[in-house]
């Protein structure tokens, strides 16, 4: 569990609950926007080669465990709650909102053979589903369940997302609501109409009565029930906001609500996204997702999901026997030797990028006997950063680029990213953006506006490295084209 930080009594704080894939995180935010306390506990799903499931009751149990670490005097001041949640998860419940089977989460791949009908829907109306078809999304998962667990359809059930189920444990609301940022990531939602998709629901054998009613992310879903308040040590009847998907909440937590900003969030994987004012039917074919934001205005964000960020660098670090500090130390000189170093393709876990083929593999190319540990480390940093920059180029032009994630604490890495992006980058030094965004929504539901987070620091590209950065991007493009077996098919965006 994270440490505790207390502040003077402020008479009002808001609780943000972030339900992640492998943990539950809670944070308390005061009227100045200060994150006064944060705590988290692991809540790992059951994973195998093709499945990812968890008993939803574990989310509630873990939430209760985490909140025990919060200062009681601050819990007594909580006036509102908001939620953020892992996206794409599926929770099937009965009329009392009790789960009728384990939740199925986004890494699940059992529906891989059931994607064809969704591709047909997407091709017939690209701005309808508006997203690439991914097997872990609720739409394909429901189609798989209908074939392999048809008994579920013998009794009424409702379709929920993870954070909406967890909120129902807080409020006891019936029926349980949802909102567009989560709904638009299900492949059951018509992005253009901003409503549940009749075609997708018909395909999987459900109707609108089985789907959660839609509200806004900052709408009041209900109030904390007396029983939930006692379990959590909170005052009863606290206002609870509907909440948002984790990425939409992170955008709110980072103060990114208007079009014109590209966010690169780099963790195990990476998310490269931009807030946009309209959807585009051509984006799914380029591997770009389009989801609603959690703000008050009707906007979306276009996102390139990158599977290989810290995952690829962590593998390289382990292979080379380096600590993280030693690996990132090589970022300072990564571009100076780019012409002599090998080229690293970071696709160790595949990718969702149609430009590089259906099953890309990682590789080091142009290896020679003169290359050593430092060469491999430098090239891994350049290859991973260059691919992130490449995916950023697929998004609409932006006036500002913001970097977030733990890696931005390393100056060499942020300078490398700025050089490869050929742009100034702003640093969002906040490891808890989603939980902060959840608190923002909790405050909005009660009529309060929390101040935006301040981005700390800016890094500008080095003119002396411009040619080397361009060479690194060109070498990556050439290696991808060669590796995909289609020379010339992959170009710069």
Which of 188, 217, 248 is at the close of a domain?
A: 248
Report in angstroms the alpha-carbon separations of 225 from 170, 219, 308: 6, 17, 42
Report in angstroms the alpha-carbon separations of 21 from 30, 34, 103, 189, 246: 26, 25, 11, 22, 10
The reported pTM is 0.87
Please, what is the angle between helix 411-421 and helix 466-483, to 10°? 80
In a domain, 474, yes or no: yes
In a domain, 167, yes or no: yes
- Do both 24 and 91 map to the same domain? yes
Please report which confidence band the pLDDT of residue 485 belongs to, taking 50, 70 and 90 as the band edges. Answer: low
Q: How far apart are CA 98 and CA 347, in angstroms?
A: 40
- Do both 262 and 244 map to the same domain? no
**pLDDT tens across 176-207, in order?**
999 999 999 999 999 999 999 999 999 999 99
What's the confidence (pLDDT) of residue 10? 54
Mean pLDDT of all residues in 117-146: 94
Q: How far apart are CA 198 and CA 180, in angstroms?
A: 16
Number of structural domains found in the chain: 2
Mean pLDDT of all residues in 8-36: 88
Give 484 or 372, the one with higher predicted confidence.
372
- Do both 320 and 237 map to the same domain? no
Q: How far apart are CA 316 and CA 408, in angstroms?
A: 18
* Residue 49 reports pLDDT greater than 90: no
**pLDDT tens across 303-338, in order?**
998 888 888 999 999 999 999 999 999 999 999 999
In a domain, 213, yes or no: yes
* Residue 154 reports pLDDT greater than 80: yes
> Is residue 93 within 8 Å of 161, Cβ to Cβ?
no
What's the confidence (pLDDT) of residue 361? 87
List, in order, residues 6 or more apart from 104 with CB less than 8 Å away. Answer: 51, 52, 53, 89, 90, 136, 141
Which of 248, 281, 313 is at the close of a domain?
A: 248
Please report which confidence band the pLDDT of residue 22 belongs to, taking 50, 70 and 90 as the band edges. Answer: confident
- DSSP track, 339-400: TTS-EEE--BTB-S-GGG-SS---EEES--TT--HHHHHHHHHHHHHHHHHHHHTTSPP-SE
- Do both 193 and 324 map to the same domain? no
- Do both 325 and 198 map to the same domain? no
Q: How far apart are CA 212 and CA 196, in angstroms?
A: 9
- Do both 121 and 215 map to the same domain? yes
Please report which confidence band the pLDDT of residue 493 belongs to, taking 50, 70 and 90 as the band edges. Answer: very low
Q: How far apart are CA 486 and CA 478, in angstroms?
A: 10
Instruction: Write phi, then psi, for 85 (nearest 5 degrees).
Output: -145, 150
Q: Which of 212, 123, 197 is nearest to 165 (CA)?
A: 212
**DSSP code for 296:** S
- Do both 242 and 276 map to the same domain? no
In a domain, 454, yes or no: no
Angle at 233 between CA 14 and CA 68, to 5 degrees: 90
- Do both 206 and 287 map to the same domain? no
What's the confidence (pLDDT) of residue 492? 31
Report in angstroms the alpha-carbon separations of 89 from 52, 54, 182, 450, 454: 10, 10, 9, 29, 32
- Do both 275 and 405 map to the same domain? yes
In a domain, 29, yes or no: yes
Q: How far apart are CA 143 and CA 138, in angstroms?
A: 9
In a domain, 5, yes or no: no
State the Cα torsion 147-152-157-161 to the nearest 10°.
-60
Q: How far apart are the first and last CA of the chain?
A: 42
List, in order, residues 6 or more apart from 272 with CB less than 8 Å away. Answer: 262, 263, 264, 265, 303, 304, 306, 388, 391, 392, 394, 395
Instruction: Write phi, then psi, for 457 (nearest 5 degrees).
Output: 95, 155
Angle at 56 between CA 51 and CA 59, to 5 degrees: 110
- Do both 232 and 302 map to the same domain? no
Q: Which of 171, 10, 14, 9 is nearest to 79 (CA)?
A: 14
Helices and strands of the chain, counted as H and E runs = 16, 23
- Do both 53 and 156 map to the same domain? yes
Mean pLDDT lowest among 6-15, 102-111, 359-368, 394-403 = 6-15
Mean pLDDT of all residues in 162-173: 95
In a domain, 1, yes or no: no
CATH code: domain of residue 359 = 3.30.420.40
Q: How far apart are CA 226 and CA 72, in angstroms?
A: 17
Q: How far apart are CA 75 and CA 90, in angstroms?
A: 31
In a domain, 39, yes or no: yes
Which of 220, 248, 276 is at the close of a domain?
A: 248
Could you list the residue range(s) of the whole structural domain that residue 348 is in?
257-429+462-493
**DSSP code for 178:** B
> Is residue 228 within 8 Å of 171, Cβ to Cβ?
yes
- Do both 80 and 228 map to the same domain? yes
């Amino acid at each position: 569990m994270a440490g505790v930080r207390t502040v003077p009594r402020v008479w009002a704080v808001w609780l943000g609950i972030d339900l992640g894939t492998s943990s539950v995180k809670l944070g308390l935010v005061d009227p100045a926007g200060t994150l006064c306390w944060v705590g988290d506990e692991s809540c790992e799903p059951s994973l195998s080669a093709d499945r990812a499931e968890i008993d939803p009751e574990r989310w509630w149990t873990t939430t209760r465990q985490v909140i025990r670490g919060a200062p009681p005097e601050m819990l007594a001041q909580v006036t509102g709650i908001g939620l953020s949640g892992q996206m794409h998860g599926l929770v099937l419940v009965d009329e009392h909102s009790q789960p009728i089977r384990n939740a199925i989460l986004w890494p699940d791949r059992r529906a891989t053979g059931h994607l064809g009908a969704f591709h047909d829907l997407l091709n017939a109306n690209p701005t309808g589903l508006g997203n690439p078809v991914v097997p872990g999304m609720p739409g394909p998962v429901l189609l798989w369940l209908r074939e392999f667990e048809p008994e579920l359809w013998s009794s009424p059930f409702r379709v929920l997302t993870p954070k909406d189920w967890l909120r129902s444990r807080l409020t006891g609301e019936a029926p349980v609501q949802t909102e567009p940022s989560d709904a638009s990531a299900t492949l059951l939602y018509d992005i253009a109409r901003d409503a549940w998709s009749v075609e997708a629901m018909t395909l999987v054998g459900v109707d609108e009565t089985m789907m959660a009613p839609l509200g806004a992310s900052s709408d009041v879903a209900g109030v904390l029930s007396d029983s939930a308040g006692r379990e959590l040590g909170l005052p009863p009847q606290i206002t609870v906001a509907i909440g948002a998907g984790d990425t939409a909440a992170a955008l709110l937590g980072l103060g990114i609500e208007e079009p014109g900003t590209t966010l690169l969030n780099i963790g195990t994987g990476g998310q490269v996204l931009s807030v946009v004012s309209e959807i585009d039917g051509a984006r799914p074919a380029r591997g770009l997702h389009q989801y609603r934001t959690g703000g008050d205005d009707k906007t979306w964000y276009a996102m390139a999901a990158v599977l290989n960020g810290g995952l690829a660098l962590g593998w390289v670090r382990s292979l080379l026997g380096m600590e993280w500090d030693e690996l990132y130390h090589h970022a300072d000189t990564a571009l100076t030797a780019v012409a002599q170093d090998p080229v690293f393709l970071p696709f160790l876990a595949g990718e969702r990028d149609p430009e590089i083929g259906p099953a890309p593999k990682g590789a080091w190319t142009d290896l020679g006997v003169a290359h050593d540990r430092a060469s491999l480390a430098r090239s891994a940093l350049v290859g991973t950063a260059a691919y992130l920059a490449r995916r950023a180029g697929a998004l609409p032009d932006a006036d500002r680029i913001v970097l977030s994630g733990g890696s931005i604490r390393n100056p060499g890495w942020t300078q490398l990213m700025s050089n490869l992006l050929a742009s100034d980058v702003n640093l969002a030094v906040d490891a808890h953006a989603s939980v902060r965004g959840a608190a923002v929504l909790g405050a909005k539901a009660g009529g309060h506006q929390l101040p935006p987070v301040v981005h700390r620091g800016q890094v500008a590209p080095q003119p002396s490295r411009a040619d080397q950065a361009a060479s690194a991007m060109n070498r990556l493009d050439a290696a991808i084209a060669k590796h995909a077996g289609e020379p010339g098919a992959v170009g710069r965006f």
